[in-house]
Each structure stands twice: as C-alpha cells, then as structure tokens.
Structure 1
C-alpha cells in the first residue's frame, strides 16, 4: 500500500546518477593517471615544444624580413634624396639665370620693379636654405643611417618647398613683363617655359620626398604588424606549452589530500541526498512486517486515515509470535534467546512447540496495580493449524544445570538446613542451595552428598 511517489522516484534516479558520478571521480582521483594518459600528456608537451620552436622561427623570419624590407625602403629614400637634391639645385640655377638676365632686368623694372625685388629676395633665401641643406643630404647619401635619412627627408622637403615658392614668384614677374623690340615674345616665352618646367620638376621632387616618407612609415607599420602577429603566436605557444606541462605534472603527481577530502565530502553529500529521498519514498509506502494473508482493509482510496484505527489486518503464514506479560518479580530472570516450550489450549498439553525469547519490552505495563513487562516469544518452524489469537502456555527456561544434586524444596528448613539419618540418629546439616525448578525441586551446591538419607516429617 503506497502513495504516488513518481516524482520522488525520478529524483531518486537523479541522485543515484549524481552519486555514481562523484564516486567515479573519487575512484579516478585515487587511481591516478593511467600510463596511456601520461604518455599522451608527454606527447602533448613534445608537440607544444615543437610548435613553440616553429613560431619562434617564424618570429625570427618576420624580424629578418622586416629589417630587409625597411632597408630597401630607406635605400630608395637615399636615391630619392640624391635626385631631389639635384633637381632642386638645377631648378634654383634656372631661377637664378632667369632673374639675372639683362633683358629681364631692363624691361621688368619699369613695369613691376617691386615684384622683381621680391623675386630676387626669395631667390636668395632659397639658395641660402639649399646651401644649408645640401651637406645634410649629401652626408646620408654617402653613409647609411635610417634616423639621418628621416631627418634629411624632412630637411630637403622644406628646402624644396621654399624653392617652389621662389620659382612661383619669378614666374609672377615674367607675367608682368611687356614684350618689345629688345625682349621679344619668343624670348619671354622661353623664360616662362624654363621656369614652368623647373617648377614642375620641383613639385615632382617634393612629391617624391613625401612619398619616400610615407613608404617608410607604411613599411614600419607593416613590419610592426607582422612582428606583433608572430610575437602573439610565440606568446600563445608559450602559454599552450605551460598548460600541457602543468597537466603532465598533475598527472604524474599523487592526488592532494585536499582533493581527496573534497571528493569524499561530495560522495557523502550525494549519498545523504539519495538516502533522504529514499526515506521519503519509504514513508509513502506501508509495508507488511511479515509474510501473510490480508484479512481486512479498513480504508478505501482517498479516505483519511486515523492514527488510532488499524488500517490493515493480516495473518502470518509462518514465524508466529506469542506475547506474554511477565511479573516484575520474574522479569529479571529472563533474557533474550532463552528457550521456551509452548503449548496451546486448542491442541492440549501433549503437543508442544519450541521457541525462544526475541524481545523484552523495556517499558512496564500496569494491570490492576501490578507491574508487568511484555515478553515476545518467536515460534520455531511452521504449523498451518496455528491461528492468530490462540491462547498459548509458556515454559521459559531461564537457566539449565546438568548432573547436579537435587532434593525436594519442602525438606529445606528456614535457615537452609536439612535433617538426615546418620547411624540411626537424626542430624541437622547446613546446606547451600542453587536454582529451583517448576517440579518443587532445588539444586544442592554443598552440604549434602549423593546417597545420604533425608528425614522427612510425616
């Protein structure tokens, strides 16, 4: 008879699985790593070390490639510096030749003398700046130094920009000159073409200088990206190697006591959870304490049960028990497993069954002012004739002495004396007695010998 416990059954299965898992983990921890696991871990360490060596080589290659590529770019910059310096020198010479021309000075001074003065002043400044920049640029074209090349590029770029401005001012002067018989249109156009060409060459040189700087910056960025990527690979490989080395160390090492304690505690907790739900399931079931036949069910499904009313009655098929109230004066003599001879009123005194004391109730029962203790006797064997509720008679054997001297209890005096016949005379002897039986006999421990004659009063 039980209540619905399907939810608890599912919970019990979950707890059983959880218990099995933590038990397996504890067993695995105590067993340690297998030889195969250790071999695999060692292989993983070897592979990780090889991978680290490979990525370190990749990093070295990236650094070498970066150095080579950057050197190539700086060598290109050296060539750009040389060509740009020459272009600036040539352009400034063209500008000087134009401004120093007799015809230009004669026919431009009348129409725009201030413009000519400004052009010559700017020419002077440009030439002065060029003369300052020239040794710097020539120095890096003869001796390779990246930092010096960077400085020379920036320095020559300033000089070239100033030269562009100087030629622009000269071209402005040419635009104000009026042709005459002394300065023909053809001659004026030649001056303009010469200055315009020089300006184009200078702008190209300036563009080349800027491009050289940009190429250097771009190559440095590319190199840094490549090196960073390779370095990241090395860092990752170092971390991976450390991880598998740690794993190998853990596999080789014995389990720590703290880990054993942790898994042991988890096993106990899982077992406690399982026991708890099993107890809950058991509490939902009403199990018969013995095998037997149900004779009465007092409740129907859905009815409220009463704590004071018997719900189910049944008869045992075997292992009958007899319950008897024993007076407190005798209970101290009885102990568990004492043999018992049993008769039933239904079968008479000649049919006897054997049993033994299986329980002594520690709590007293008071009947009519007399204290009793309930004793339970278990019958040995089975007999289909025995029915529940039959009246039984018990003989409990509390102690057995074999081969001892006994006399009738009634011949023992008040002070444990016995009268005997000796040489025709009645004498009184002091004796020591032992246990008594239900036949009115008492054991003699000392004071009498077998064969002595006891005097009995009539």
Structure 2
C-alpha cells in the first residue's frame, strides 16, 4: 500500500514539472517586442502663460444724466449716431428756468441799489458826525473862556481874605479859636494861587480855531487845578465858619464874609459845571456818533450780504438754465438712449451713454495667486468668442490697479490690455480669452511635460536605449515649465530619445 502511494506522488510531481516547462516554452517562443512612444530631444522654445478672460471696453466713455429734473423737450441723437465733443444731445423744457433767471436778475438789481444806498448812508453818517463834533468843538473855546472867567472870580473872592503877603487877615486869625483852621487857610491860599495859575496858562488866549486834540488836552489839563481851587475855597469857608464874633469881627462882618464866599462858590460851581458839561457833551456826541456809524455800517454789511446772496441766486439760475442743455463731453458713438421726448427725467436717470469706439482696451481681473507673475509690458495672445477661434490678436499689458477687487470672496486685481492693432469688428462688451506670456526661454533643450516623472522632489526621464533594451531612468534638472513642454537645464543632450508617458 505504501508503494502505491509513493508511485502516485511521483506521477503528480512529474505532471506539474512538465506543465511548468510547457508554459515557460510557450512564453519564450511567443514573446513579443515591447514598444514605446518616444520623441527625439531637440532645441526649442518654452513659454509660460496665464489664461484669463477679459472684456473689451471703451477707454473713454460717458454716461450722461441731466443735473436738474424736468420734462425732456428735445432729443437730437439716436443709437449708433456719431457725435462730437460739445454737440447738443438733449434739452429740458426751459420756460420755468428762464422765468426764475429773470426774477433772480431783478432781485440782483434791487440788491445792487440797496448796497449803493447803504454806502451813501455810511458816508452821510460820517459827514453828519463830523459836523456835530465840529459844532461842539467850535463852541468849546467860548465855554473854556467862561470857565476861566468864573475861576478867576472865585480866586479873586478867595484872595480878598488874605493880605499882600498871602497871610490870612489878622482879624480873622485872631477870631479863630481853632488854629488848625488858620493853618489850613494858609495852605489853601498857596494851592489856590497855583491852581489859578495853571488854569490861566491853559485857557488864556486859547485859540478859537483849536483842534479837537487841543480841546481834549486842555480839558484834561484843567481838571485837577479846578479841583484844587475848590479844595482851597472849601478850607477857607471852614475857617470863616469857625470865627468867633467879637471885637475883631462883628456879626455883620461875618455875614459879609460868608456872602462873599458864597458868591465865590457859585462862580466856581459854574466853572466846574461848564467843564463837566463840556466834557460830557463831547463824550456823548462821540458815543452817539459812533452808534450812528455802527448802525449805518451794519446796515451796509447786511446789504452787501444780500447782494452776494442775490448774485449767487443769479449764478444758480443761470447754471440751472445751462444744465437744461445736455452736450457730449467726448467724441464717440451713441451706445444707449433711455428716454423719449415728453418724459420726466431726474438727476439719477441715464439719458445717453456715449463710447469712443476707436479707443478701446481689454479689462481682465487677475486672481491674487497669479498677479505676482504679471508685470507691465507682458504680451498676451487673445481670441474672441464672437470671432473665429483660429483668429489670434496680439495685446500688451498696460496697467495693473494697485487696489484689490473682491469677486466671490476672492481677491483679484484689475488689469488693462491694449490691442496692437484694432479690428473694426471689435465691439464694446465682447469677451476676450487671454493667454498672458509671463516667462519664455528660447533655443533650449525641451521635452514634453508628459515625459517627466516626479519622485521625492526630483525629476526623472526614461531614456530610450533601443529596441529590445530596457530604458534608462535618468535624473534631470528642469528649468522653465511651459504649458505643454519644459526646459531641461542639465542631464540630457540633443539627439537622445525619451519615452513619453501615456
């Protein structure tokens, strides 16, 4: 039984070995040659581009609105019309505007007359003030002469109570028990003499044609001496009132003394009143004159302000009338017309849009991930959806706005391109597909990007060694990467063949 089992195992193993040999022979004799897609390494150009979509826009366009509201009276242009700068396009009804301008001009005329009258009023007030002051100052020398006369009378009365030596009469001195009154009287005489001397020096021969400054100065100069004369007279009166009648001074003599001094006081009071009155009159007339002048000048300023307001009203009315005429600020083509004759138009309503069809540009929004590769002067290749896709147009990047534009939450930067040659078929609003050239390497070793394998941060190519031979994997240094091909900086020579990955 063991022999039969062993024999069976040998048969099985023999069958397996024969099968393996048969399979091996099948693959050996039926082996097919492996084929590769290859390309020969040559020199070429590598271009790196960024693709965006832009839109044709007129560089110079104008959206026209009236600056005032009203009813459209005339429309002179239609869509597609070629117009010139300054050309009249539309008007608003001007009847009410002309009426308001006429009224404003009439009000201006009245305001101008009012200013003329106010100017004359100021001049008249100044003249009247000068005349009133002149009258006061003309009469002043007479008043000053009266002051001097009454002061001299008062001094003369006072002097009658003293001898030639300036001593008070002995009868009075002997009849005055209070010797302090005698002392005061003696001092009073000295002061009175000095006071009347000062007053006389100021007022004697005071000129009738004295200036206002001279009169003001003399009034100031005599004020203190008149007060000194009053003090001297008061001291003497006190002395006389202190006399004790008797052998030296009788009662009747005392009454005569008192009457004489009363007359002296009356004369001095008149002088003081004249001095105070003249000073008050001068002060009052100056104050009143200034008040009158202030009133006239205030009225003048009011009329000038009203004139300015009237002038502004005329300017506004004239501007409103001018604004009723809409003129084109540029030369161009009427792109839109949104109103008809008889319609109400407000300052927010667009009536016309004018574009300059000869001066166009392409505006595109570049996302921030690409903007760092963009620079002024970059060239671009463009195709238009509205034209044959095989037609290509050359453009140049002319500006990049520094401020961001948010589009769907993504930061973009607005860029502008100019066509090197403007095609008459171009229309504002057409879409343009742009391939912006951001880098280029010429006459360099180039390979298809499909042939490059990346591994661990390194670049590899499969070098074709010939039919029936295994390819060589070689590390290379890649330079500029274009849209379809790439520059090989090192590791490859012209004429070698590389395998293209499917």
TM-score interval w.r.t. the shorter chain? 0.3 to 0.5
| Greater relative contact order, per chain length (Cα 8 Å cut-off, separation 6+) | 2
Structure with greater helix share of residues: 1
Q: Normalising to structure 2: TM-score of the pair? A: 0.44
